[in-house]
Structure 1
Amino acid sequence: MALSARLLALRRSPVLLKLPPYLSALCILVGLGWLLILPLNEYSRQTYISENAILPGQVHTYFGGSEHNVFRAYRQEVYGLSERSDHERIAGLGSVMREQGLKVANQSYSWHVAGEEISGTNVSGLLKGPRADATEAMVLMAAWRNFEGEINYSGVALALTLARYFKRWSIWSKDILVLISEDSTYGPEAWVSAYHTTSIVPTASRNISSLPIKAGALQGAVALDYPAGPWGQRFDKLDIAYDGINGALPNLDLFNTAVQVASSQMGIGCSLHNLKDHSDSYKDRLKTISKGLITQSVGHATGPHSAFMPYHVDAITLKTIGDGWHDEMTLGRTTESLFRSINNLLEHLHQSFFFYVLMNTNRFVSIGNYLPAAMIIAGSFSISALALWVQSGKPTPSEGTKPMRPGEKRKQPGMTVVKDGKNVALVPKEDLEVVERKMFIPAAVVLGVHLAGFIPLYLLNHVDRSNLPYTFITLTAATVILPQYLARHFLSNLPPQQICTIQSLSLLLLGATLSTLSTLNFSLAFLLGLLCSPLSFVRPLPSLRFSLEQSTRYVSVDDAAGIAANLAVVGPISVMFVAVSPPVVLWVVKGMFFGSAGAEGMLVEMARGWVAQGVWTGAVIWGVWWPVWVVGGSVLWSGCWRRPADDE
């Protein structure tokens, strides 16, 4: 047999055409298994400092002694300010900074989200470095209220104490900005956005005043989260928060410097994601990776440092946890040593990793090792899309392949001659035929459904808070009904080739989007790929539609058994498919992470993230995941409304 004839025969081989679903399932399992082997030592590395100029922990720290009395005095003053009005508190913080010799500026801001106003005032001070040329700066910040909403008594007091202490030193080659923000999310966002903008035009959703005092390019930022009350409280460990908005990460050198200074120089244990007891076992490493994936995929701020990531400013938050023997002086010396390390930098942090997955404070996985996990899962959708594309080019079953009626003779399939040099082969004509694909309707369907995804995105970000739960319930119901409507009134009337083309274009777009997203936010791409994995195996369900003649005539026992069998297949598959729809998954997330806050709390946080922080997770959910699920549901239920083959 000639080679070309064999290839043509292989192209239409039933065995080959049955492989794509198994290959897609294999890709999903391999991608998930790839993530599960990352905690092993063979696939991870010990952390190390790439930038030799940082010299972490190589200096002697002098913070202590009389500074302890200054800190306690400031803590009492902060406690007194907490019992006064906001105007008096802001004036009091500014007065303290002016007494230290800092240039002080206030910045007011407000956001309008979900019918509510988020407003506040930041207080910042500038410490001019004696050896600085106003081209580079560092940021020391402490939010008035931390991420949990507690007043950051000791954190604010320690920031003020360190500002007074830093003012007496002549070693600084960079300016130091001291920021006391109103909260841990929107205050830093307003401050850093104004810092990198010459003029901010007020809009309907935000009104941010400009900063009258600025310095050079920000080289790093460190936030202090130490909410111990007016009488103080010792702590056990430092939890280092490093996740930024949309999964952005600081340069690994900054994180390693903080760990090196705290653990090696000061003897403070460090942790991640509030996991205090980490035995460095496979289970604990996997738990740390899982928490990191969830946090980064959500994309919201995890502390005051998160707002700096979109502006390419490396930042972390030092948060005290537990009850131990370390006190504020230890944290102060840690911060001093960290700032002196950043002060040594001759250029912006760039030599270490910006994309990594941490398993504990001294072990990480680089992008080259973890990225294939998301890429392989994204590839499973491309495989399914290509298989459907090939299937869409196949001709409809000919008369010879239809079920034979009693007394009917099957016609022989047409044959064609294929020549390859001196070799001649007879190949069935159907193996060489390719049906012309009509692309307009499939492309219009896919494009229209994706554009419709902006409707829930707009509603959930602009509806008042009190109406958000009702809007979400309506969207959940519409999400379930829309595929049924499209399947019954539109897709059931299309030829099977066009239905295959619609599904192929949808999966191809999903695979391309996840491949691109995995390089920007690996966690979001990986989890979204797992949630969308059932879409690769969606095929039209058995028909449940009967003509008027059938419904009026007597239904035999065999017909009734067929109807029951089809219902037994359609029912469970439909329930499982609805269970992985975006609204249902969000309802589950609400129950797991928002508890008493309910759907309203979850939706408000999502709206705040979109409007105030620029989080694109909502756009991915409603602009990528939701349309693909709707298209998949329309294809799935299109078979239910199609006439049985015998009636056509």
Structure 2
Amino acid sequence: MAETKEKSLSDEKPKPRVRPIVRLGIFLISHSFLVSVVCCTAGVLALFLLPVLAKNTYISENALMPGSASPMLSNQHVSDGNRLVKDLTNPNSKSSETGIESHKIIAQYMLDLGAEVSFHKFHPQMNQFHPLHFFSSPVSGKIQENYSCSSYGINTVGIIRAPRGDGKEAIVLVTPYNALKSGFGEALSLGIAYSVFSLLTQVTWLAKDIIWLVADSQYGEYAAVAAWLREYQTPKFSSLSTPNAEMCPDVNNLFELKGHSISGSKFSNSFRRAGTMAAALVLKVRDQNEQFEDTISIYAEASNGQMPNLDLINVVNYLAVHRQGLRVNVEKLWPLLNSSWLKSLGEIFESLAKVAKSLYPKWKFGIPATEYVEGTATLASSLYYQALGVPTGPHGAFRDYQVDAITLEISPKFSLDKVWRNDILLRGGRLIEGVIRSVNNLLEKFHQSFFLYLLTSPSKFVSVGVYMIAFALLIAPLPMVAASLYVDANSSSNCSKGDSSTPSAITDTDEHGIAIRSWRWLNSAKLVFIVHLWGAIVSLLPYFISQIPDCSPTTSFMIWVLLSILSLLTLNSVLASPLACAKATQEKEWALVKSVTISSVFIGLGLMSVINFATAEIGALLMVPMCLLARPLKLDVRAGTLRSFCRLICNLVLGHIAFPPAAFFLLKGMLDGFGNANVGDFWMWVESLWAWNSATYLFIGMVQLPCWVLCVSILFHTC
């Protein structure tokens, strides 16, 4: 008997050990509610902590060496720039209706310095929505059909060949200029650029070619720069698609410059090129005066949240503050500066920092409350403009070709009389000289510093390794809650099948029940697929609505809403929504729908974080709480508890806020006041997104809107 017992024990197979990672997964799924609360709270808290965790900027590339050499720009170069300003502001230079006289003056000044000069003629292009042009160049519209000679744009380009270079690299300096409606600020920006240009023709240390582009901004600053860049990067060998310039006598007169024949000088009718662009600076001067001190504003956001290398901003900030005594500004969301709750939050963080320092003196945590408020306003602005995906200046055209570029806008403190004009010319010119000298030292493209970052001030930033924590914490509960809902829905349906007191009943229904449960999620997946297909249709509708002539924004928006509703009803009737035809015996069908919805949202947010993190972060703040709290309202009404009542209120509030038009009007009201809101404003905002091929438009139409529809269908599900 003993031998038989030992043999039977030895024949028994040992139970397989569950791996620790599987145990952890089971634990997290079984406690998904607690995990969701902890992760979402930590994610929001981490987002508000970003201004506190911001680090001081620093120069990563040692070869830049900003400020290591004394500026060479002298008063003589300033006087040269002043002469150009006087000639451009002379009323005689604006006698022509096309502003050609101004272009001749600029070209003549460039030629006098020995630069290679050419004119680039372009036609304005109409930005039109096209669903297949996303993530491509945002100026892929078509040329205006009714064109005339006066509708030509003319860019003036001057090139200095570097004495120590091989012509393979170049630095671009851009000054937007509208010859027909130019202000004194635009003329002064040309004066600054010319003073630097005249200096660079004389130096011996120049190793990169210098391109000075005077962009004709009568059709927009971005359009002029983008047209020149298209020709520079992708030359056209046929002019069949462009109007014939020979029929325009004013354009032909451009080549008749006083004292210079085409064949005997460096003036050329053909398009001139230099080397690969290492960096680009766009220089502008504001006509309005600041009240306190001379400032320079930096604009860096490009299409789809792209940012230039942080070293370029660091060089400008260092030279402007420590060499020229200019105050550097970056954009802020000004309503947040007067926010009382934000100030209270900053005071809390400041108090916690004092307590932490008293416990451990070496721990440098926390910033003053006023600095926290200003940092949060700057961070929110950086997040907002990156999420829009619309360039904040003509520098965005360079980022489409992976060229690091920023826009610098100088705001003088006093009126631009003769004394202060010379001061701005000198300080602005020396700033541009220092930046060009630093970029000239580079042996390769910018790569050492960050490309993914958020600014909290001109001298502080949050890197991708820090701000991704908040996003990761926000979306972390989604897969766990989806798995928990799936398991819960299947287990509840399993308990309702058959009579547990009869073993034969369990045996008979088990195989059939497993087969049904394993495929029930396909009905929910079908619903989610239908709604996302509807979202794609809604995203394409504006392409056809925009073809309607003389249609106001309000009318276009109402047509869009009507067609969207009709298309949803049509898809629901043709493909049969699972929620609409759910049988009463299918308990917790809404849980499976919610599980698949959460899974699709998790995938959508993950993909969007790769394309534009700022859009994914804002989308997570709106969508994750709505997805996690979505539950049929009837169940909360039946429960009658305080918890269910609070969840019901939260669902109603989030259902209104997460609706894209409602979220837009709420944000617009916070920034500009609710009295200025108009129904057509949403159409105009969306129109600007698709005109610039912003990926945010696709995210709203194909991720956020379907998510909102699915969550609303769950709220009104008949259990």
Give 1:258 shift: 0.8
Q: Is the Cα–Cα contact under 8 Å of residues 164 and 205 in structure 2 kept in the other structure?
A: yes
Q: Is the Cα–Cα contact under 8 Å of residues 510 and 624 in structure 1 kept in the other structure?
A: yes
Q: Is the Cα–Cα contact under 8 Å of residues 478 and 628 in structure 2 kept in the other structure?
A: yes
Give 1:111 shift: 2.3
Give 1:236 shift: 1.4
**Per the alignment, in what secondary structure is the counterpart of residue 38 of structure 2?**
helix
Which of 309, 315, 318 is 2:408 aligned to? 318
Which of 58, 67, 71 is 2:81 aligned to? 71
Q: Is the Cα–Cα contact under 8 Å of residues 39 and 359 in structure 1 kept in the other structure?
A: yes
**Per the alignment, in what secondary structure is the counterpart of residue 172 of structure 1?**
coil
What residue identity is the alignment partner of 2:617? F
**Per the alignment, in what secondary structure is the counterpart of residue 532 of structure 2?**
helix
Q: Is the Cα–Cα contact under 8 Å of residues 556 and 683 in structure 2 kept in the other structure?
A: no
Which of 303, 321, 327 is 1:269 aligned to? 327
Distance 2:702 2:173 in 1: 38
Are residue 50 (structure 1) and residue 138 (structure 2) matched?
no
Distance 1:66 1:234 in 2: 29
Are residue 287 (structure 1) and residue 324 (structure 2) matched?
no
Structure 1 504/232 Cα, relative in aligned 2: closer, same or farther at 3 Å?
Answer: closer
**Per the alignment, in what secondary structure is the counterpart of residue 400 of structure 2?**
helix
Structure 1 30/331 Cα, relative in aligned 2: closer, same or farther at 3 Å?
Answer: same
- Percent identity at matched positions? 24
Which of 686, 698, 703 is 1:619 aligned to? 698
Q: Report 1:369-448 matches (<5 A).
A: 369-396=466-493, 398=495, 413=501, 435-448=517-530
The residue number in structure 2 matching 1:514 is 605
The residue number in structure 1 matching 2:42 is 30
1:388-439 residue CA offsets vs partner (Å, 9 max, x unmatched) = 33234335275599xxxxxxxxx655679xxxxxxxxxxx989x96822245
Give 1:603 shift: 3.7
Distance 2:49 2:383 in 1: 15
Distance 2:668 2:240 in 1: 31
The residue number in structure 1 matching 2:225 is 188
Give 1:145 shift: 5.9
The residue number in structure 1 matching 2:662 is 584
The residue number in structure 1 matching 2:393 is 303
Distance 1:82 1:638 in 2: 69
The residue number in structure 2 matching 1:241 is 299
Distance 2:244 2:603 in 1: 37
Distance 1:233 1:459 in 2: 48
The residue number in structure 2 matching 1:542 is 634
The residue number in structure 2 matching 1:222 is 281
What residue identity is the alignment partner of 2:371? S
The residue number in structure 2 matching 1:556 is none
Distance 1:448 1:200 in 2: 46
**Per the alignment, in what secondary structure is the counterpart of residue 37 of structure 1?**
helix
Which of 53, 69, 74 is 1:59 aligned to? 69
Q: Is the Cα–Cα contact under 8 Å of residues 237 and 270 in structure 1 kept in the other structure?
A: yes
Distance 1:567 1:376 in 2: 27
1:474-524 residue CA offsets vs partner (Å, 9 max, x unmatched) = 444666888899899731312456543333233212212322332442221
Q: Is the Cα–Cα contact under 8 Å of residues 129 and 175 in structure 1 kept in the other structure?
A: yes
Distance 2:328 2:448 in 1: 23
Which of 425, 429, 434 is 1:337 aligned to? 434
Give 1:599 shift: 5.4
Q: Report 1:87-102 matches (<5 A).
A: 87-88=99-100, 89-100=102-113, 101-102=115-116
Structure 1 141/16 Cα, relative in aligned 2: closer, same or farther at 3 Å?
Answer: closer
What residue identity is the alignment partner of 1:456? V
Give 1:99 shift: 3.9
The residue number in structure 2 matching 1:136 is 169
Distance 1:186 1:604 in 2: 19
Give 1:525 shift: 1.1
What residue identity is the alignment partner of 1:623? M
Give 1:452 shift: 2.3
Distance 1:208 1:505 in 2: 57
Structure 1 617/16 Cα, relative in aligned 2: closer, same or farther at 3 Å?
Answer: closer
The residue number in structure 1 matching 2:580 is 492
What residue identity is the alignment partner of 1:585? A
**Per the alignment, in what secondary structure is the counterpart of residue 286 of structure 2?**
coil
Q: CA RMSD in A?
A: 4.5
Are residue 251 (structure 1) and residue 309 (structure 2) matched?
yes
Distance 1:29 1:477 in 2: 38
**Per the alignment, in what secondary structure is the counterpart of residue 511 of structure 1?**
helix
1:77-115 residue CA offsets vs partner (Å, 9 max, x unmatched) = 333456753352445544443444332231314222369
**Per the alignment, in what secondary structure is the counterpart of residue 143 of structure 1?**
strand
Q: Is the Cα–Cα contact under 8 Å of residues 450 and 627 in structure 1 kept in the other structure?
A: yes
Residues 29-38 or 101-110, more deviating: 101-110
Structure 1 196/597 Cα, relative in aligned 2: closer, same or farther at 3 Å?
Answer: farther
Distance 1:98 1:513 in 2: 54
Structure 1 384/223 Cα, relative in aligned 2: closer, same or farther at 3 Å?
Answer: same
Residues 63-72 or 97-106, more deviating: 97-106
Q: Is the Cα–Cα contact under 8 Å of residues 594 and 601 in structure 1 kept in the other structure?
A: no
**Per the alignment, in what secondary structure is the counterpart of residue 493 of structure 1?**
coil
- State how many pairs are aligned: 592
**Per the alignment, in what secondary structure is the counterpart of residue 301 of structure 1?**
coil
Q: Is the Cα–Cα contact under 8 Å of residues 357 and 364 in structure 1 kept in the other structure?
A: yes
Structure 1 352/128 Cα, relative in aligned 2: closer, same or farther at 3 Å?
Answer: same
Q: Is the Cα–Cα contact under 8 Å of residues 192 and 308 in structure 1 kept in the other structure?
A: yes
Are residue 127 (structure 1) and residue 219 (structure 2) matched?
no
TM-score (normalizing by structure 1): 0.78
Give 1:368 shift: 1.1
Q: Is the Cα–Cα contact under 8 Å of residues 290 and 411 in structure 2 kept in the other structure?
A: no
Listed as ranges, the gaps of 5+ residues in structure 1 are 402-410, 417-427, 545-558, 643-648
The residue number in structure 1 matching 2:357 is none
Structure 1 49/156 Cα, relative in aligned 2: closer, same or farther at 3 Å?
Answer: same
